[in-house]
Chains A and B, each alone.
Chain A
């Protein structure tokens, strides 16, 4: 019997040892970002780039400067990283933003090489200067004591950051799909989808090419609804009187939404439900400003490979400016705007009354304020309460309805 007991003990021990398949302890690793600048031909490439390896999960960002288009970093914890390379240079008085990224790359092996394609875009004259989409909360109803959420005062300020007059005629503005940052992205059936961004709703400003000039230092206000939102029955908590907005997204299908004095934009592309207003999501939209290089079709849409969803493609080369908002800081890794357009991302709580406005870079002798535009919204924007035409931006002369 002693023998049986010994055998039993030996069996338990053997079972214990064989079952214990040991997982290895984590080790820190190094990685190399290899910058591919071969697509840049008409301007000289900067000698060095600022390269950042960001792990949004661990909140760790490791920086390096590239030498000969390579940047090495060490002591990385294995994980999912977004690698960005940025540089700025100027030519003929214009600023050029060089930017490239490799998004959500798994770095799990020592010495892993990460290819990063770098592209360059000229800083646009027209830029988003302020974006207010979060909405706010109304005062408590005196009879019920309840508050409600208010979102009809969303607006966007577009600013001429150059020293030449530009024309807003036919300028387009839209939010991208997916509407919210999500891991479930689309697989659009188009060649080289990386050269496009995708939307389901495009608003276009009217004009015949020279109807709506915007001088240096002037801005235009695009409102969801161009009325005084401080009025009773709207949101007396708001400080937003948008009755002087230049353009609004009015379609005239809802009797409650009266037509403001602002010029009505044209809804040139619409896929899906025809809403009586332009409600951008309050959970982090991504905005794009562009002049279409080809006439926009409201038909022949691009199809998603995995669902019945459709979209309209916008070539990246047409985009003047893009600003990406995500749902919250945990969603930064789910960016949907190419980093050549916006290498960063911003977020705020829904109905928090938060507005995003661009940082000032300098003030010229003429008094014109020049705003920072590095195509990285994380660096370029600040947050606060919304202020229409902050820092004294000029009003275009053709806006005759604004209260002076």
Chain B
């Protein structure tokens, strides 16, 4: 696996830095604004199919930056930190190697998270759809590192008809929980996206791609204080858990193995207007085990995922962009009745029965409009306006005991950017704002421990309040670039946003107790220095 990662890293860095020098003849206009415009207006690049890049390759570019991100505030999910600091190194680039279009990016993130709860051993429980992991109520801080590499390549059109492409993605992540009970997850996944694009004529294309991802996560738990075993919840979903301990003779190493496969189909039209229809279907199964030497099945998930996107670029200089997108994701939580067979010579966990105990449905829809005003291919735009409307819902159920968690909210957002030039300097100033309206939500928990379960009476009610709340977001950003030569721009960027939620003083938990909400705002800030060439 290390070899694969090395190959990926080399490809990414080659595409972002090295090839730039080899391909000087094809260097086009450069600068972050131009790059932003190029990527936004290149529908084929953002499709699921790498070979569609052959329709209109992204002009060669290279970009390297050091970034700092910070989030602070208590309007958050319980598994998020009150304070999150992320220092990262990022590189991306595109180039033509011969007639092949190549693009790649690399990210290294060093993340410090303070004051999280209800996760002991999973790298990212919020993004994950895995309900089987362990949690504890202790307020903890984490440190984490993440390496992400991605590359895609598209061949030219052979026989003026076929283009082949492939996308590769490789991610390794590791983290450490710094308070007992401690967790030390290591997460990895690698994905490959082979694709084929057929050219009907110079304006119409159809493309198909497959997708396969293999994932593996492993996490050992331990206590620094070996004299005090720590009580943890072995989670099953929606606050249901069985109790166990981390420490001497307690829980073993957890590991998760997953496979995701599927494909996408695209239709693209390039002409007076650009149009892309992209639909994707994927399936995923992921299993959770404990103790590799004597694997004990802890649960599995089975997921089906569907996604569709329509993008349209129209108007003079294709300065208007409309995007309609949505996805549907349904995940079954599968549990087992297991028994340890102690027969001599066997000594293994046996699965006696398998049933779906829970289901988690997530639906997302979005309509967005962006308009580029003024500018040209050498300087991007003078004004950029954007607006979007979004609908998100989650509907989760646990069948026995009967529990439910659901919410729906709608969000509208708008943004504006203005580009200024002062000799070799370029300043972009932006403002944005939005409002999210909660359209209702509910959490019910009927397990036998409903009166005492901390998961059900603290964690889920607080998370539901987060999702249900009406919330306004506003902020601004800037980018200051300086052309140090006709091929190199150095830049600094900054962005700050403020989320203010309209929350009640407290919410009522399933056991009837009142749970105080302890924060209604969150600040997100970003800063970076970089070089674009």
Residues of chain A at the chain B interface (Cβ within 8 Å): 1, 4-5, 8-9, 12-13, 16, 19-20, 23-28, 57-61, 77-80, 104, 106, 108, 149, 180, 182-185, 187, 283, 305-306, 327-330, 349-351
Contact = CB atoms under 8 A, between A and B. Distances in A.
A330 B243 contact: yes
B54 interface: no
Contacts of A306: 344, 347
A58 to B, nearest CB: 7
A397 B244 CA distance: 47
Contact of B339 (A106, A184, A349): A106
Contacts of B302: 20, 23
Given A327-B245, A330-B245, A20 B399 contact: no
A327 B231 CA distance: 12
B355 A23 contact: yes
B395 to A, nearest CB: 16
B356 interface: yes
A108 B337 contact: yes
Given A16-B283, A283-B249, A305-B344, A59 B449 contact: yes
Given A305-B344, A351-B227, A23 B354 contact: yes
B401 to A, nearest CB: 8
Contacts of A184: 342, 347
A351 B227 CA distance: 8
A283 B208 CA distance: 60
Sorted from nearest, which 9 A-B pairs have the closest CB atoms?
A26-B355, A108-B353, A330-B244, A57-B242, A106-B352, A60-B448, A183-B340, A305-B344, A25-B356
Interface residues of B, number: 45
A26 B227 CA distance: 40
Nearest to A183: B340
Contacts of A351: 227
B228 A349 contact: yes
Given A26-B357, A328-B231, 19 more contacts: A1-B198, A5-B206, A12-B262, A13-B281, A19-B283, A25-B355, A25-B399, A26-B335, A26-B399, A58-B401, A58-B447, A58-B448, A59-B448, A78-B337, A106-B352, A106-B353, A108-B352, A108-B353, A350-B229
B245 A328 contact: yes
Given A8-B208, A20-B283, A28 B400 contact: yes
B420 interface: no
A149 B283 contact: no
Nearest to A105: B339
Contacts of B208: 5, 8-9
Contacts, number: 108
B200 interface: yes
Contact of B227 (A1, A12, A149, A180): A149
A390 B83 CA distance: 52
Nearest to A327: B249
A106 B229 CA distance: 29
A271 B335 CA distance: 42
B337 A80 contact: yes
A106 B356 contact: no
A237 B463 CA distance: 43
17 contacts: A1-B198, A12-B265, A19-B261, A23-B334, A26-B400, A59-B447, A78-B355, A79-B337, A80-B339, A106-B337, A108-B337, A149-B227, A182-B249, A183-B342, A283-B248, A283-B249, A328-B229
A329 B243 contact: yes
Interface of B: 198, 200, 206, 208, 227-229, 231, 240, 242-245, 248-249, 261-263, 265, 281, 283, 302, 304, 332, 334-335, 337-340, 342, 344, 347, 352-357, 399-401, 447-449
B340 A12 contact: no
A20 B261 CA distance: 12
Interface SS of chain A? loop
Contacts of B228: 349-350
Contacts of A180: 249
Contacts of A60: 448
A66 to B, nearest CB: 23
Contacts of B357: 26
A25 B399 CA distance: 8
Contacts of B356: 23-26
Nearest to B206: A5
A4 B281 CA distance: 19
Nearest to A28: B400
Contacts of A27: 355
Contacts of B240: 58
A28 B353 CA distance: 13
Contacts of A329: 243
Contacts of A104: 339
Most buried by A among B228, B262, B400, B447: B400
Contacts of B200: 1
A160 B229 CA distance: 36
A205 to B, nearest CB: 32
B344 A12 contact: no
Contacts of A13: 281
Contacts of B447: 58-59
B400 A9 contact: no
A197 B340 CA distance: 21
Contacts of B335: 26
Nearest to A282: B227
Nearest to B338: A80
Contacts of B338: 80
Nearest to A187: B344
A211 to B, nearest CB: 41
A57 B340 CA distance: 14
B493 to A, nearest CB: 41
Nearest to A180: B249
A23 B263 contact: no
B229 A349 contact: yes
Given A23-B356, A182-B249, A185-B342, A77 B262 contact: no
A19 B285 CA distance: 10
Contact of B332 (A1, A8, A23): A23
Nearest to B302: A23
Contacts of A28: 400
Contacts of A349: 228-229
B204 to A, nearest CB: 11
Contacts of A106: 337, 339, 352-353
A24 B265 CA distance: 31
A329 B281 CA distance: 44
A52 to B, nearest CB: 13
